[in-house]
Every structure is written in structure tokens, then in C-alpha cells.
Amino acid sequence: MLKRLILPIYLPLFLEYAGVSAYLPLLPLIAVRLGFSVPEAAALGLIQGLCAVLLPIPLARLLAAMGERRALLASGALQGATSLGLGVVVHRALAAGGADGAGPADRLALIAGLLVINMGLVLWHVGRQAYLADALPESIRARGLTTLGGALRMGQVVGPFIGAAVIAAGSTAGVFFLHTGLMVLATVLVALTLLPLDDPPPGPASADAASADAAAPDSATPDAAAPGTAAPDAAAPAPLRRPTPPLSHRDAARRRIAVAAGILPVSMSRSNRMIIIPLVALSLGLGEDHVAIVVGIAAVVEIALFYPAGLLMDRFGRAAVAVPCSLGLAAGMALMAPLALGGHATTPQPWALPALLAAATVMSLGNGLGSGIQVTLGVDLARPQYRVRDLGRWNSLVGVGQLAGPGLVTAVTVVAPVGVAAGTMAVLCGAGGAWLARILPRVTPAPSRR
């Protein structure tokens, strides 16, 4: 089943995030060369978090109206065209002398382009979730969705390397052209291989009708066949069971918020660990090459765990992965905290790199074990009759963590060392893990244990 999803779902996702990750690490540097101040260039990173919070709900409505396949195709084409335009703008501005040759229109174009690309990312994300929710049997749902997370992580690992190769060839703007080419390829794959599902669940517009059908008295029984048809085998009557009515909007919202309260610290840690690790390295006197080694090893650990994580979730339940994920992130942050409670070291101690690597590896074990946990929980909590709508609302809740994580680190480091920020995240993740252990068995599917 999962093999059939490689070309229409997993490979396009890999290509998309490889393209995004090719330019994303260079974005602050490109922005400064276009005339942004350093704080303004750093603030561009807020665009992704704001889009993750504000856009899933309205884009879910658009997705419900267009259908997953058409929405994915339109989004892919829009991202590719926008990235092409950004490449032209950046190339022209840098050729004209960088900050001296770039004008306000160039800087505004960069902001607008990033908004459009992030809108496309959100639409692709929700669209893939909705498609997989319908396509995957519940028995392998977690494996299918953690594979989605694995494809994303592979793209994030490969992207910076191919972006660096483009830069080495002498074209800074080429990272945007690279993103365009990868998005074109991803969109073509979706167009050729993503088939509409035969029997999608009813959308919000038909939920009332579905509920009415469920509440209507049964007109057909095993003993009473319609005229002109053969009577069913009376020796083995199938017991009739009235469909369970969907949760009300209020009850569904309460359930989402209850689970989000535990998963938000995970989302926050994922968004700010790439801020905390370099800052801790700086405090220890380590350089960029050391940070690259630590981040690279951590990425390999995470990629190796995505499929086992899905297998564990399908067999033993969501809490079997969500709780160790949260506690692993807490342990990694707790190990980071004492490394950066003092001032900045000018020369690294012999133990500095192994200590940082050990803390980052523990964090990656937790994060890798939680591959796909957020999307899996989103699908679990989405009512079939309102799936796209519920997925949009879930993604907005999770997006709060993506936005709040870097904000918390910024706020804490204004008044305290970065080690205090890491310790704060350790406490939040530990509390989140305890809450998830309590709430998830009540609201997620029972494990198959097969």
C-alpha cells in the first residue's frame, strides 16, 4: 500500500522540502544583501510561523471546495512560479550592486514571494493529510503518516547540500531557480500519478444528510429483501449496528485543544532546537563546522527512526510514541541547559563537542521517534464528515507552537543565558509528555498489537 504512494505523495514532498531547504538557510544573508537590516532579515523567519497559524483554516475551506488533487496541482504551480519570480528579482538586484542596487520594490517582492510560497506549503501540507486520511487503512495509518515525516526530513537534509552546490557554482539567486525546478518536477508527479479516491468521505456540506441517514429507521433487514432480489442467507444474519453519530463541533474542539496542550511543547522544541543548538555551541566556543557535524548526525538519527515510529504507533497506540518523543526532547533540552549557563568561551574545552553531540543525539532520538506524530494525531482527531475542516483547525493549533518556540527563546535570552531557555523547554516537554500519557489513550484509536 505504501509503495503505491511513493510517486504521488512521498517523492513530491521530498522534492518540495529539498527545494525549500536549499534557500531557507541562506534567506537571512540574501535579505541583508538586498538592503534589509539584520533584525529585519531575522524577522522574515516569522513569516513561516504566522502562515502556519493563520492560514490552515481558510485554506482548508479552499481545499474542501477544490478537492485535494486540484488544490495540490494549483499550489505546486503557484510555488514554482513564485520562486522563479524571486530568482529573477534577487539576480537582478545582486547584479546591480546588492543593497546599493536593490530598491524598496525588490524587498517588498521578497516578502510577498515568501508569503505566497508559505501559503502553498500550508495548502500542500493539509491537502496531503486529507488525502492520506482517506487512502490509508487505519491499521497502517501511522506508518503512512510517519513516512510522510520521513520524506520531509530527507528533503530537509538534502536541500542545504544541493543549495550549497548551486552557490559554489557562483549563483546566489540560483537557489530559487533550483526550488522552481524541483517544484515543477513535484507537480508533474502529482499530475501523473495522484489519482482521485473512489469513495471519499462526505464533506461538511453533506454531513447533515449523513447524520439524517444514520438517524433514520432501518428499512432493510436480513429477513426482508427488496422485491426482485434474493433473500440473504437466514442462517447467518448480520447484526445491525447503528452508526455512531459524529462528535459535535464543541466536543471535537475540546478534544483537539486537550491533545494540543500536550503536543505544543513538542512543536515548540522542533522549531527552536535549531536556534538553541547553535547558541549553545557559541557559548561553548565551538564553531560553525562543529555545529554542522552535530546537526548532520542528529538528522541521520531522526531519519533512521521514522518507520519504526509508525510501526510502534500502529501496534501499541499513539501514546507509545508521543510520550517518549516528548520526554526525549525534554531530556535533550535538560542536557543542553547546563552547557550554556555561563558566559561565552573563547576556546572550546575537549569535552564541549562530545557533550553537545550527546545532548543533541538524545533530542534527536525523541524527535525521530515522534516522526509524523502531529499529522497522525490530526487525522485521528478529524471527524470523517468534517475531515478537511478539522485538519485545518488542528494545523492552526500546532502552528502556534512553531511560532511560539522561537519567540520563547528570544524572550528568555534577553534576560538570561540560553541555557535557561533550554531548561524552560525541558520542563514544558516533560509536562507535555505526562499529559499526553493521560489523554491520548482516551481519544485515539485502539492499537492493533499485530
Are both 253 and 167 inside the same structural domain?
Answer: no
pLDDT at 206: 40
Q: Note whether residue 213 is domain-resident.
A: no
Higher pLDDT, 203 or 315: 315
Are both 180 and 279 inside the same structural domain?
Answer: no
Average pLDDT over residues 334-343: 87
Among 177, 196, 215, residue at a domain's last position: 196
Indicate which CATH number applies to the domain containing 337: 1.20.1250.20
* Residue 224, beta-bridge partner list: 221
3-state SS, residue 1 = coil
Among candidates 376, 443, 380, 388, which has minimal Cα distance to 201?
A: 388
pLDDT at 289: 74
3-state SS, residue 430 = helix
Are both 160 and 257 inside the same structural domain?
Answer: no
Q: Which residue matches cell numbers 524587498?
A: 107
Higher pLDDT, 300 or 288: 300
Among candidates 262, 298, 275, which has minimal Cα distance to 430?
A: 262
Are both 192 and 253 inside the same structural domain?
Answer: no
Distance CA 278, CA 290 (A): 9
Q: Note whether residue 209 is domain-resident.
A: no
pLDDT above 80: residue 237: no
pTM of the predicted model as reported, rounded to 2 decimal places = 0.76
Torsion angle of the four alpha carbons 345, 351, 353, 355, in this order, in degrees rounded to the nearest 10: -110
Q: How confident is the model at residue 235 (pLDDT cuts 50, 70, 90)?
A: very low
Are both 162 and 294 inside the same structural domain?
Answer: no
Average pLDDT over residues 319-327: 95
Q: Note whether residue 218 is domain-resident.
A: no
Q: Note whether residue 238 is domain-resident.
A: no
The region of weakest confidence among 102-116, 178-192, 325-339 is 102-116
Q: Note whether residue 220 is domain-resident.
A: no
Q: Note whether residue 219 is domain-resident.
A: no
The crossing angle, in degrees rounded to 10, of helices 249-284 and 373-381 is 170
pLDDT at 161: 85
Q: How confident is the model at residue 435 (pLDDT cuts 50, 70, 90)?
A: very high
* Tens of pLDDT, residues 25-65: 788 888 888 888 877 887 787 888 889 899 999 999 898 88
Domain, as residue range, for 424: 249-450
Q: How confident is the model at residue 133 (pLDDT cuts 50, 70, 90)?
A: confident
Q: Note whether residue 229 is domain-resident.
A: no
Among 152, 167, 196, residue at a domain's last position: 196
Q: Note whether residue 188 is domain-resident.
A: yes
Average model confidence (pLDDT) across the chain: 84
pLDDT at 450: 53
Q: Looking at beta carbons, which pairs linking 195-200 to residues 24 or more positions away fall under 8 Å? A: 195/8, 195/69, 196/67, 196/69, 197/131, 197/134, 197/135, 200/134
Are both 271 and 152 inside the same structural domain?
Answer: no
Are both 323 and 417 inside the same structural domain?
Answer: yes
Among candidates 370, 365, 390, 371, which has minimal Cα distance to 443?
A: 390
The region of weakest confidence among 170-179, 216-225, 234-243 is 216-225
Indicate the burial class of 246 (C-beta count within 10 angstroms; 0-12, 13-18, 19 or more): middle
pLDDT above 50: residue 233: no
Average pLDDT over residues 208-221: 40
Torsions phi, psi of 28, nearest 5?
-60, -40
Domain count along the chain: 2
pLDDT at 210: 41
Among 196, 218, 237, residue at a domain's last position: 196
